[in-house]
Amino acid sequence: MTVTSAGTLVALIALVALVTLVVRPRGVSTVDFYLAGQRVGVATNALAICGDYFSAASFLGVAAAVYVSGLDGVWYAVGFAAGFVPVLLFVAAPLRRFGEFSIPDFLGRRLASERVRLVAVGVVQIVILSYLVPQAVGSGITWQLLVGRGLPGLSAYATGVVLSTAVVAGMVAFGGMRGTTWTQAIQFLLLLGALVWLAVVVAGSGFNYSAAVGDLSAEPLANPVHDDTGWHLQPESNHLDPTAPATFGQPGAAYGPLAQFALILTLVLGTAGLPHVMNRYFTSPTGTAARMTTVWVLGLAGLFYALAVMLGTAARQQIAAAVDDHPWLEELTVDGILRVPEHALPVLGRIYGGDSGLAVVAAGALVAVMSTIAGLLLAAAASWGHDVYERHINPRATQSQAVWAGRASTAVVALAAGGLAIAMQPADLTPAVPSIVAAMVTWAFAIAGSALTPVFVLAIWWRGTTAAGATAGMLVGGLVSVSMFVVGALPVGPGLGQMLVTPTLVAAPLAALVTWLVSRATTPPDDVERQWLVLHGTAADRHAERLARLTIASLGTTPRRSGHGTQRKGERDADR
């Protein structure tokens, strides 16, 4: 690592730590620690949601999947971006209006059942861990490429995993949701900045996107494999037409016909069940603000994924053409194709920006990992601290004790994720899937979309949903999705195997059906009509808006503070 690279990374960590320090919660209120006081504006929350959502899978994984599989890799970008449309239509506003701290808290209160709450905690923890491990893997891969050396006794990969997880766990425990919101918003802007910079320099060098897709599609798609004879390129099988070669611009390089739809649906339905993303909606001041936040997220996601797909394409063409002029590429490539596809963006950064360019992209990757780890650890803290500790272990806990329980749980979950990431060997898994990081995140989406989303949507939109129905639905969705993973890992044939590892197409309808059948046979909570007023009425929104108007008016009538009042109103209007 050069001095420039090291300086970039140190400056980045220092900036994020400074923001966490400045905006940390002063009190010990759980509403402040978990929900940032429920006063996060639309633009800020949209940026923070993007920081939460755009993980290593989005930054490194989508470009890597496009790099390896062409159009079949683009479906990752489509699925990740599309997931917020169902969130906007079915979840955002009612979820915020009902309030609470977490998905288990919402389900537990809505269905008046502690059993539902505890089952939801179990599912949420599985989703969080499934999502955390690939983030840690992504940070290990990035450290390996950027630094290449580890701490004494640790490999470079393990050092990246340990450092990123430990640093973020410390910042989350210290900063809570308020500190994390601002650091995530800034981290997303840094991440988007890195992507935009790379796109600009690539486009500025004369890269023709459309022509590149055409050129790459003119020849069979081949990728490096390692066997007894060493590294060599192997043409990809065409899963749609075995008699024709797979190409970059046509479907079939990675998935069969059913698996293409299964992958997209898994990602679309999974987003609404991601605990760290859904928890962010509780921090909005109103349901309407939560809905508009999602519109902003859709716009930012579109920009982000369009750039990621473009850069994955550029990497495929430009890296192969750059091998002769950049000897350092030889040890990373086989006949011009990268051995580890997640290296696509960092390598592109180094080609166009030297060591500084590598540092910028690597910093973007680490930022993506850190902001997502932060959101996941906070969701884990809310779930363990609020839903388990406050509800079941120490119901008389003081606010301070509850916050400390949340802080302790971040450390435990971070340790578990780091340990699992170190135990895995991503190099061994890479040949099996287009991008190991994107594929692992897909597992989290699959469990969330199979076990949580159907129950979540039914609880919001169907009065007849009962606690027994929700419990059965979550268990069936979770068990079916995990069982399909396990069977999919066995040698059952490429087409069926790919379908089985994206199981939402089967598991989600099954979970919804079981929830409906069991709910029909049992009794909904007594106060369901009153809950409906809160979920789908806007009285609380209007109350909050009226209070805000009164506060601004009172500040405006106080001569000494009138300037601040006007400024606050302007800021608020701009933010909304």
Partner 1 sequence: MEHDDGVDEHDTPAEVDATFRTLRRVAITHVVLFLAAVMGVPALSLTLGWWSGGRLAGGMSPGFAMAAFGLYAFFLVIGLAAATLSSAVEARMLGGRHDDDNDDYPADGELP
Interacting residues toward partner 1 by CB under 8 A: 38, 71, 74-75, 77-78, 81-82, 84-86, 88-90, 93, 98-100, 109, 208-215, 217, 240, 249-251, 257, 260-261, 264-265, 268, 288, 291-292, 294-295, 298-299, 301-303, 305-306, 309-310, 313, 461, 529-530, 532-534, 536-540, 542-543, 546
How many other C-beta atoms are found inside a 10 Å radius of the C-beta of residue 123? Answer: 25
For residues 507 and 359, give the distance between their C-alpha atoms in angstroms, rounded to a whole number: 42
Residue 152 Cβ vs partner 1, minimum distance, rounded to whole Å: 45
18/553 with CB nearer partner 1: 553
14/550 with CB nearer partner 1: 550
Quick one: which of 231, 245, 306 has its CA closest to 74?
A: 306
What's the per-residue H, E or C state across 332-398?
Answer: CEECCEECCHHHHHHHHHHHHHHHHHHHHHHHHHHHHHHHHHHHHHHHHHHHHHHHHHHHHHCCCCC
Helix (H) or strand (E) holding 224: strand 222-227
Residues present in the chain in total: 576
154/534 with CB nearer partner 1: 534
Residue 104 Cβ vs partner 1, minimum distance, rounded to whole Å: 15
Quick one: which of 99, 58, 28 has its CA closest to 398?
A: 28
Instruction: Return the structure tokens found at 549.
Output: 């108007």
Helix (H) or strand (E) holding 461: helix 453-461
For residues 411 and 419, give the distance between their C-alpha atoms in angstroms, rounded to a whole number: 12
77/163 with CB nearer partner 1: 77
Answer whether 308's CB lies under 8 Å from 60's CB. Answer: no
Residue 532 Cβ vs partner 1, minimum distance, rounded to whole Å: 6
For residues 506 and 528, give the distance between their C-alpha atoms in angstroms, rounded to a whole number: 30
For residues 180 and 49, give the distance between their C-alpha atoms in angstroms, rounded to a whole number: 11
Residue 304 Cβ vs partner 1, minimum distance, rounded to whole Å: 9
8/69 with CB nearer partner 1: 69
235/537 with CB nearer partner 1: 537
Residue partners of 335: CB distance under 8 A and separation at least 6 = 224, 233, 320
259/421 with CB nearer partner 1: 259
107/413 with CB nearer partner 1: 107
At 226, phi and psi to the nearest 5?
-120, 125
Residue 508 Cβ vs partner 1, minimum distance, rounded to whole Å: 13
For residues 207 and 530, give the distance between their C-alpha atoms in angstroms, rounded to a whole number: 59
SS3 for 364? helix
Residue 299 Cβ vs partner 1, minimum distance, rounded to whole Å: 5
Answer whether 75's CB lies under 8 Å from 69's CB. Answer: no
For helices 436-447 and 71-82, give the axis angle rounded to 10 degrees: 40
94/140 with CB nearer partner 1: 94
89/393 with CB nearer partner 1: 89
Distances (CA, A) of 235 to 68, 242, 253, 436: 11, 12, 9, 19
Residue 149 Cβ vs partner 1, minimum distance, rounded to whole Å: 37
Number of helices followed by number of strands (H, E) in the chain: 26, 4
75/281 with CB nearer partner 1: 75
H helix runs in 282-343, sequence order: 287-322
Instruction: Return the structure tokens found at 434.
Output: 């287009």
Helix (H) or strand (E) holding 431: none
Helix (H) or strand (E) holding 564: helix 562-575
Residue 46 Cβ vs partner 1, minimum distance, rounded to whole Å: 12
226/542 with CB nearer partner 1: 542
Burial of 33 from C-beta contacts in 10 A (0-12 / 13-18 / 19+):
buried
Q: Which residue has the tokens 């690592």?
A: 1
Residue 426 Cβ vs partner 1, minimum distance, rounded to whole Å: 27
211/489 with CB nearer partner 1: 211
71/433 with CB nearer partner 1: 71
For residues 465 and 514, give the distance between their C-alpha atoms in angstroms, rounded to a whole number: 11
For residues 359 and 353, give the distance between their C-alpha atoms in angstroms, rounded to a whole number: 9
106/143 with CB nearer partner 1: 106
Answer whether 511's CB lies under 8 Å from 450's CB. Answer: yes
Answer whether 270's CB lies under 8 Å from 49's CB. Answer: no
Residue 238 Cβ vs partner 1, minimum distance, rounded to whole Å: 12
Answer whether 353's CB lies under 8 Å from 200's CB. Answer: no
Residue 545 Cβ vs partner 1, minimum distance, rounded to whole Å: 9
Answer whether 558's CB lies under 8 Å from 565's CB. Answer: yes
